[in-house]
Amino acid sequence: MFLTGLAALAVVPTLPTAARDLDGVSLYPLVAGCFVAASLLGGVLGGHWADRVGPQRPLAAGMALAVVTLLVSGASTSIWQLAAGRFLDGLAGGMVAVSINTAIGQAYPDRLRPRALALMSACWIVPSLTGPPLAGLVAEWWSWRAVFFGLAALTVLPALMVVAVLCGPSWAATPAPSNHRPPRPALMVATAVSLGAALGQYGVSGWDIHHLLFAAGGSALLVAFASRLLPAGTWRAARGLPATVLLCGLGSGVFFTLEAYVPLLLVTDRGAPPLMIGLAFTGAAVAWAGSSWVQGRLLEHCPRHRLVVAGALVQAAAVLVAVTGTIPATPAYTAAPAMVIAAIGMGIYAPSLTVLSLTHSPPGRQGYASSAMQTAQNLGQTTVLGVSSALFNACLGAGSTDAVSYGAAFGLLLAPCILAALLAARARSA
């Protein structure tokens, strides 16, 4: 998880430079969206693979693929190769994340799962402090390719060790019992959902007929196929796992939309320096890990659905801070704390939902629950960010000022926060 976090946080600051050098700035939204779309596909495939043969093999495959994708991206000669590398990276990341959650569900008793999940969140602290600034220095002083190749060199030996250990005879597979084994999802379904997410990410990057057609095509694929990858009753928040999965999508969509638009507001409208953006990202990562530690250590006996309500309300407070930061009369950096506050909410919100999802999962079905949560997380990012982006571009197209457009995009996020708080009781465990 440490290596996954380091790679994820280090390469993101270099992507704009890479797109510029490869003459592909116009396709940058596709490069950014490929990772999210492929994470969805990787989570689905990794989860069902883990249920069939145990989490060891998909975890080993994800670690090996993580090295390959860094090499593919570093050697890019075109923007399309870079997009392919980011797609492979998302595929590997989705498989690793779901496999780790499945392993925690199988290896740890209920009382220790919150602590194990908090430890996974803590693995992102050092990467969040060191990854982006080091990558920026390397890209500025040397080359953006050196970032990818350096990460590959750093990852290859630990990845080989993990693969060797997990494939050894001492690790017995723990597949699902035959009477609980879920039907293997058609590859076409997972691929269609992943493609729909990618098309949606690209479509919302513009406000013309060309982009609208892509957005419409992506939305059609998601509507047609996404429900097949989620538990029955997810859209109506049926009690138990379906409601838990829906809540995961709502919270993730709010947080990552704030993470996308708050820096954009600070840079384009408030004139904030890059250092402020870096501090906001670092503060958010530390805040997420800190609040995750609190929920795992100090609040471990509190009912999980109540922690979900608390996390959703904290996110709502972050949205209000972001809206306040769009007002021209406020100080330039007013919106920056919104990322940190939202991260505090997610540090309470996300692990609590993961614990609830594992609690609602029958024996041998933790992989299915983990993949459903991963799918909901990625769909939430795509949907909430897409709707907010569409509203933002519509306001700009109607002649509104930047402040009004940002305020509308942020204000929309209050709806999923309030909805999550109201629906949290439907995810409570028996």
What local confidence, expressed as pLDDT, does residue 345 receive?
95
Instruction: Flag whether pLDDT at 213 surpasses 80.
Output: yes
* pLDDT on residue 182: 46
- How many other β-carbons are positioned within 10 Å of the β-carbon of residue 256? 20
| pTM of the predicted structure, to 2 decimals | 0.73
- Residue 14 gets which letter from DSSP? G
Instruction: Look at 37-51, 162-176, 256-270, 335-349 and tell me which has the smallest mean pLDDT.
Output: 162-176
Cβ(56)–Cβ(171) under 8 Å?
Answer: yes
Q: Are 62 and 42 in contact (CB under 8 A)?
A: yes
pLDDT tens-digit readout, 155-212:
888 888 877 877 666 555 555 444 444 445 556 787 788 788 778 777 776 667 877 8
Q: Does the pLDDT of residue 242 top 60, yes or no?
A: yes
- Cα–Cα distance, 404 to 36 (Å, whole number): 28
Name, in order, each residue with C-beta under 8 angstroms of 320's C-beta and a sequence gap of 6 or more: 414
Q: For residues 147 and 322, what is the distance between their CA atoms, to the nearest angstrom?
A: 32
Burial 83-108 (b: 16+ CB within 10 A, else e): bbbbbbbbbbbbbbbbbbbbbbbbee
pLDDT in tens, 393-428: 788 778 888 889 889 999 999 999 999 999 999 988
Q: Is the pLDDT of residue 317 over 60?
A: yes
User: Mean pLDDT in the chain?
Assistant: 81
Is the pLDDT assigned to residue 10 strictly greater than 50? yes
| Tokens linked to 231 | 């538990």
Average pLDDT score over residue span 22-36 = 70
Q: What's the whole-number mean pLDDT along residues 260-273?
A: 75
Distance between first and last Cα of the chain:
31
Q: Please give the DSSP secondary-structure letter assigned to residue 207.
A: -
Lowest mean pLDDT among 89-93, 207-211, 259-263, 377-381: 207-211
Q: Where are the alpha helices (DSSP H) in 269-303?
A: 274-297
| Side chain identity at residue 229, one-letter code | L
| Residue 260, φ and ψ in degrees, nearest 5 | -85, -40
Which single residue is written with the structure tokens 């009382």?
A: 111
Contact 296, 351 (CB under 8 A): yes
- pLDDT computed for residue 325 by the predictor: 92
Identify the band that residue 94 occupies on the pLDDT scale cut at 50, 70 and 90.
confident
Q: Counting every residue, how long is the chain?
A: 430
Q: Left, alpha or beta for 249 (phi > 0: left; psi -120 to 50: alpha)?
A: alpha
Q: What is the pLDDT of residues 277-288, one digit of tens each?
A: 667 777 887 888
Other beta carbons within 10 angstroms of residue 184's beta carbon come to 11
When comparing pLDDT for 88 and 269, which is higher? 88
- With H, G, I as helix, E, B as strand and everything else as coil, classify residue 173: coil
Q: Do the beta carbons of residue 182 and residue 364 sit within 8 Å?
A: no
User: Which letter does DSSP use for residue 204 in this model?
Assistant: T
Q: What sign does the CA torsion over 136, 137, 140, 145 have?
A: negative
Check: CB of residue 87 under 8 Å from CB of residue 37: yes
Separation of alpha carbons 414 and 400, rounded Å: 21
CA dihedral 107, 110, 111, 115 (to 10 degrees): 60
**pLDDT tens digits, residue range 353-386?**
988 988 887 776 777 787 788 778 878 887 887 7
88 half-sphere exposure, CB direction, 13 A CA radius:
18
**Which pLDDT does position 179 carry in this prediction?**
46
Quote the radius of gyration of the chain (alpha carbons, Å): 20
The single residue listed with the structure tokens 């507001």 is 265
Confidence of residue 315 (pLDDT cuts 50, 70, 90): very high
In this prediction, residues 124-131 reach a mean pLDDT of 77
